[in-house]
Amino acid sequence: MLRKEDRIMIEKQGSFFTRTAELAFLYLPCMGKEALALYTVAMVYEESDHEGLCVLLGCSIGRLEENRRQLERYGLLKTYYRESNRTYLWKLQEPLAGDVFLRHEIFGRWYLSRFGKQRFDEMCTRFERKPPAKDYLAISAPFQETMAEWSDASEQHYQAHKPDIQMPQGFDYQSFLQISELLFPKIARTRDNLALIGQLALNYGIHANEMKKWVAKAYDMKNATLDEAKLRYYVTHIEPREMTAVSSYQQHPITYLKQLFPDVPVNEEEKRLIERLLSQYHFSYELINFLLEYALANCDNKLIDRYVYKVASSWKRNQIDTVDAAKAAVRKETKSKQDKPLPSWYYEETTDGEEVVSDEEIKELLASLGGE
């Protein structure tokens, strides 16, 4: 039973002011305005007690507890408790992005079941697109809502209309999915996780069979989740796979940089730059390697993010997607700079009445002064 004098320490994890639409259109209808009010108040507090929150929200301690559990059910709050000093630790969580919420195996189905197909379709359109101290005990409530009206037709509609995920092309999912279920259970093989795995493998030149090892290491058996932060750490701290290639441009960009500068390690910022060129600009290995070479040549062997992205954006806008096209664009730009006429003032002999002195006059002046 809660006591009014119990202390509450509040920590925030994530960004809380960029998902207001999700809170208004998805979370609010599901969990109610009282729970959302508690969430909003908790965002601006670092420490409080049950009595203070009850006074501020105008509710009983029983309602406060129920609203807290609502936040827990919808993944917006993780609650821990320390018995020795009757202190609660609230870890406020960032709301899910709208498409992720609607694609969630539980939340998406619950929203469709409760609000109907038309509202669900409207939301799909709108949203296209530190561990606790050892002496805290996890007591967050799980999602336990029931969906008695769920039917096969509802499931079909949900599968047909939930926001889709674009799976990266070029990753050998057939080989990867032969991984043992003990290491990576089927429950974790969601489209989100598989898309992440495929994209990271392509970005860092990792073969599907090798990727199994890193996924198994990053899978959290206790919580039945794939730890994205761990997986990213593993794949960014291994040597990229060498590719059998006709041209050095066809190697993975990290390998290419290592060949250009064998004694200089590729740093984290450079790895992130390469990952962005792969995942956001969708450039091929060859085009990225030529771009890196071009940027290094123009920036004193430094990879300056702003310069690289400027060139990449220009190539993307001009639909340059091959090395030959990029070379042609560079030659055209270079020639344009060389052919650019000098301003008219450059050819003027004098300015502001200044006298022009010839080389012979300069020599005579130096001789008269004792110079050579």
Specify whether the CB–CB gap between 156 and 117 falls below 8 A: no
| Tokens 């799980």 -> residue | 142
The whole-angstrom distance between residue 54's C-alpha and the CA centroid of its chain comes to: 37
CA distance 324 to 301: 22
* 181 lies in the same domain as 132: no
In a domain, 54, yes or no: yes
264/227 same-domain check: no
**Domain co-membership, 136 together with 23:** yes
Write phi, then psi, for 351 (nearest 5 degrees): -140, 140
- Kindly state whether residue 213 falls inside one of the protein's structural domains: yes
Instruction: Return the amino acid letter for 94.
Output: E
Nearest Cα to 105, choosing from 202, 18, 187? 187
| Domain containing residue 37: CATH number | 1.10.10
Strands 87-93 and 47-49: unpaired
> How many domains does the structure of the chain reveal?
3
The amino acid at residue 182 is L
Domain around 77: 7-140+153-161
Q: How many degrees, rounded to 5, is the angle at CA 268 between CA 265 and CA 274?
A: 95
Q: Is residue 33 one of the residues assigned to a domain? A: yes
Same domain, 15 and 157: yes
Q: In what order do the strands lie in the sheet with 7-13?
A: 47-49, 7-13, 87-93, 77-82, 137-138
68 within a domain of the structure (yes/no): yes
Check if the beta carbon of residue 251 is closer than 8 Å to that of residue 245: yes
Considering the domain architecture, whether residues 76 and 17 belong to the same structural domain is answered as: yes
> In this structure, are 19 and 157 located in the same domain?
yes
pLDDT in tens, the chain (372 residues): 678 788 899 888 666 567 888 999 999 999 999 999 999 988 888 888 888 889 888 999 899 999 999 999 888 999 888 888 888 999 988 888 888 888 887 888 888 888 888 888 888 888 876 455 556 666 666 655 555 556 667 766 666 666 555 676 677 888 888 888 778 888 888 888 888 898 888 777 788 888 888 898 888 877 778 888 888 888 877 654 443 333 567 778 888 888 778 788 888 888 888 888 887 888 888 899 889 988 888 888 888 888 999 999 999 888 998 888 988 888 887 766 656 565 554 555 544 445 555 667 667 777 766 655
